[in-house]
């Protein structure tokens, strides 16, 4: 039997009615002749609630216990989905990550998938099971502890299963009907894309477009998984949604194809650090060791042998970053005057493979922000993206202005 992977996000399994609605979509695929692997997220809001409980109990929590707690939302929806399918007379059973077992690294709260052995699930399919419902987002480490794959990780579970089981397609059902030029919640002018290149989606995801987890796009690109995003609330068929595919499959081409944002960023500046060989290593070593996801980095021109070092990181890691820096100072590894924090910033980015061959994108971006009187605090660029750090209160305005400036509401 051909295998299909269907993933349902949090809003798609938010209550029993929605689980039934999702199960109907699964039934249709079973009737078409597929053996289906269903990956479920926790009910929407559940994971946030669990994360909140952990942080309240222990602000600098033990990541192993964090994973034990926050992985639990998916256990509930996996069981309920399986029960719902059984009530429809579809042979189904649920699997938690460790039962598969979905083996991961030991990097708690952002573990990587190492292996998905097929035997257990294949055997059940051979015995007549039609649907394997797997709890997304979770796995098991070599030490036998429960791990999670980072926020949005069920997408990655889905793509990894599609690769391991050589599925015909990996369908990601969510609360929007595809991938748009920007988050449709931010501007009504956002336009749905029929197709998007892996590389562009990879950038958009890593720059904050949470419609797909970055790692899931990486895996799909590497293992050539046919990856599709579509609505769980509408009637859908083979042509619905947005296909993530190779650049060569796409006719439409614009210089900029999307705008992404990441709302909860922080900017931290170490004032007056000695400008000497090894200073960057002395600062960013402890930050890496402390698990801080440093993003942008700027070192100022130095005067009198001293300089300022600025970096950005997710706002919820500021406490850890501060601790790592104070400890490095106490150990005498670095010396700085003051540690200045700006926790009210966000990052807005424009992405497009067309940038490789077009000049002037940065200038157009900065003009558009100037026209709205938005001050840019940090800039970073790569081959196919430009990102700026700005005050969070201007985020929506910046996204809308850039969407207009690059004509994204019009088809190419
Ligand atoms: P799920 O719970 O199904 O995993 P997510 O909330 O993680 O859903 O992702 C879907 C959301 O991603 C949408 O509701 C939308 O607000 C947001 N989003 C951000 N950028 C985009 C984009 N470029 N295209 C579509 N959706 C986007
Ligand atoms: N429930 C997890 C989260 O909210 C994983 C997922 O939904 O993809 O991040
Ligand atoms: Mg998601």
Atom 1 (ligand 1): residue with closest C-alpha?
9
Q: Are 300 and 400 part of one and the same domain?
A: yes
Residues 23 and 145 in one domain: yes
Q: What distance in angstroms lies between residue 75's CA and the mean position of ligand 3's atoms?
A: 17
Residue 243 pLDDT: 97
Q: Which ligand is nearest to the CA of 10?
A: 1
Quickly list DSSP for 327-352.
HHHHTTS---SEEEEEEEEEEEEEE-
Flag whether pLDDT at 273 surpasses 80.
yes
Q: CATH number for the domain including 340?
A: 3.30.2130.10
Q: How far is CA 397 from CA 187, 289, 345, 373, 393, in A?
A: 9, 36, 14, 10, 8
Q: Is the pLDDT of residue 42 over 70?
A: yes
The atom of ligand 1 lying closest to the CA of 204 is 23
Tell me if 74 is assigned to some domain: yes
Tens digit of each residue's pLDDT (9 = 90 or more) over 219-238: 999 999 999 999 999 999 88
Answer whether residue 210 is part of any domain: no
Distance 210 CA to ligand 2 centre (A): 10
Say yes or no to pLDDT of 126 above 90. Answer: yes
Which of 109, 144, 175 lies at the terminal end of a domain, its last residue? Answer: 175
CA of 326 to the centre of ligand 1 (A): 37
pLDDT range class, residue 411, cuts 50, 70, 90: confident
Do 168 and 272 lie in a common domain?
A: no
Task: Output the CA 71–ligand 2 centroid distance in Å.
Answer: 9
Q: Are residues 275 and 368 in the same domain?
A: yes
169 and 278 fall within a common domain: no
CATH number for the domain spanning 157: value is: 3.40.1160.10
Could you tell me the pLDDT band of residue 250, with boundaries at 50, 70 and 90?
confident
d(C-alpha 367, C-alpha 185), whole Å: 24
77 domain-assigned: yes
Q: Are residues 21 and 149 in the same domain?
A: yes
For the sheet with 297-299, list strands across it: 297-299, 306-314, 258-274, 338-351, 385-391, 378-382
Domain count, the chain: 2
The minimum-distance atom of ligand 2 relative to the CA of 157 is 8
Name the closest ligand to CA 72.
2
What does the pLDDT look like over 172-188, one tens digit per residue?
999 999 999 999 999 99
Domain boundary among the residues 154, 175, 196 is at 175
For residue 310 and ligand 1, the question of a CB distance below 6 A is answered with no
| Mean pLDDT value across residues 402-410 | 95
Q: Is 211 in the pocket of ligand 1 (CB under 6 A)?
A: yes
**Span 354-361, mean pLDDT?**
89
Cα 91 to Cα 35: distance, rounded to the nearest angstrom: 11
Residue 41 Cβ < 6 Å to ligand 1: yes
Average pLDDT for the chain: 96
Apex 17 CA angle, 16 and 22, nearest 5: 95
Separation of CA 382 and ligand 2 centre (Å)? 28
**CA distance readout (Å), 409 to 45, 122, 209, 258, 347:** 31, 45, 17, 10, 21
pLDDT at 252: 66
CA of 258 to the centre of ligand 2 (A): 23
Tens of pLDDT, residue by residue over 306-342, are 999 999 999 999 999 999 999 999 999 999 999 999 9
Residue 232 inside a domain? The answer is: no
What confidence score (pLDDT) does residue 254 get? 82
pLDDT value of position 220: 98
The domain boundary, picked from 158, 175, 192, lies at 175
Q: 152: pLDDT confidence band, cut at 50, 70 and 90?
A: very high
Structural domain includes residue 40: yes
Say what percent of the chain tops pLDDT 90: 92
Residue 130 lies in a domain: yes
Residues having CB within 6 Å of any atom of ligand 2: 9-10, 41-42, 47, 73, 136-137, 151-155
> Is 197 inside any structural domain?
no
Q: Is 307 in the pocket of ligand 1 (CB under 6 A)?
A: no
What is the tens place of the pLDDT at every residue in 89-103?
Answer: 999 999 999 999 999
Q: What is the per-residue pLDDT for 204?
A: 97
Q: Answer yes or no: is 224 within a domain.
A: no
Q: Is the CB of residue 9 below 6 angstroms from any atom belonging to ligand 1?
A: yes
pLDDT of residue 153: 98
Residue 165 sits in the same domain as residue 30: yes
Q: Which domain holds residue 267?
A: 259-405
* Residue 157 beta carbon below 6 angstroms from any ligand 1 atom: no
Q: Output the residue whose Cα is nearest ligand 1's atom 3.
A: 9
Question: 175: Cβ below 6 Å to ligand 1?
Answer: yes
Query: Does the pLDDT value for residue 375 go beyond 70?
Result: yes
pLDDT tens column, 43-99: 999 999 999 999 999 988 999 999 999 999 999 999 999 999 999 999 999 999 999
What predicted TM-score, i.e. pTM, was given to this entire model?
0.93
Is residue 174 lining ligand 1, measured as CB closer than 6 Å? yes
Nearest CA to ligand 2 atom 5: 152
Q: Is the pLDDT of residue 251 over 90?
A: no
* CA nearest to 174, candidates 219, 234, 245: 234
pLDDT of residue 362: 95
Q: 209: Cβ below 6 Å to ligand 1? A: yes
């Amino acid at each position: 039997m051909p295998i299909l992977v269907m993933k349902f996000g949090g809003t798609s399994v938010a209550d029993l009615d929605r689980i039934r609605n999702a199960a109907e979509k699964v039934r249709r695929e079973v009737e078409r002749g597929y053996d289906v692997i269903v990956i479920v997220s926790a009910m929407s809001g559940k994971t946030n609630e669990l994360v909140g409980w952990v942080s309240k109990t222990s602000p600098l929590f033990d990541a192993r216990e964090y994973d034990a707690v926050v992985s639990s939302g998916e256990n509930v929806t996996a069981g309920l989905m399986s029960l719902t399918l059984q009530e429809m007379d579809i042979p189904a059973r649920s699997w938690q990550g460790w039962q598969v077992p979905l083996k991961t690294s030991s990097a708690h709260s952002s573990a990587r998938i190492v292996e998905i052995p097929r035997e257990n699930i294949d055997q059940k399919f051979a015995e007549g099971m039609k649907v394997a419902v797997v709890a997304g987002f979770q796995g098991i480490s070599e030490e036998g502890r429960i791990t999670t794959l980072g926020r949005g990780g069920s997408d990655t579970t889905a793509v990894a299963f599609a690769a391991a089981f050589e599925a015909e397609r990996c369908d990601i059902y969510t609360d929007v009907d595809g991938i748009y030029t920007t988050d449709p919640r931010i501007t009504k002018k956002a336009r749905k894309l029929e197709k998007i290149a892996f590389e562009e989606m990879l950038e958009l995801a890593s720059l904050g477009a949470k419609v797909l987890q970055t790692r899931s796009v990486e895996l799909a690109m590497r293992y050539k998984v046919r990856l599709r995003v579509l609505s769980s609330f509408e009637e859908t068929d083979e042509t619905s949604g947005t296909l993530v595919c190779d650049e060569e499959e796409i006719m439409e081409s614009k210089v900029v194809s999307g705008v992404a944002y990441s709302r909860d960023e922080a900017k931290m500046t170490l004032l007056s650090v000695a400008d000497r060989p090894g200073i960057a290593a002395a600062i960013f070593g402890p930050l890496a060791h402390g698990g801080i996801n440093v993003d942008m980095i700027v070192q100022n021109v130095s005067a009198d042998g001293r300089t300022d070092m600025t970096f950005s990181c997710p706002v919820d890691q500021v406490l850890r970053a501060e601790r790592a820096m104070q400890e490095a100072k106490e150990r005498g590894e670095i010396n700085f005057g003051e540690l200045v924090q700006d926790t009210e910033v966000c990052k807005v980015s424009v992405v497009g493979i067309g940038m490789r061959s077009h000049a002037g994108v940065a200038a157009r971006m900065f003009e558009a922000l100037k026209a709205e009187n938005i001050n840019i605090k940090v800039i970073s660029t790569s081959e196919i993206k430009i990102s700026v750090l700005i005050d969070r209160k201007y985020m929506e305005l910046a996204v809308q202005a850039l969407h207009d400036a690059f004509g994204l509401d019009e088809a190419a």
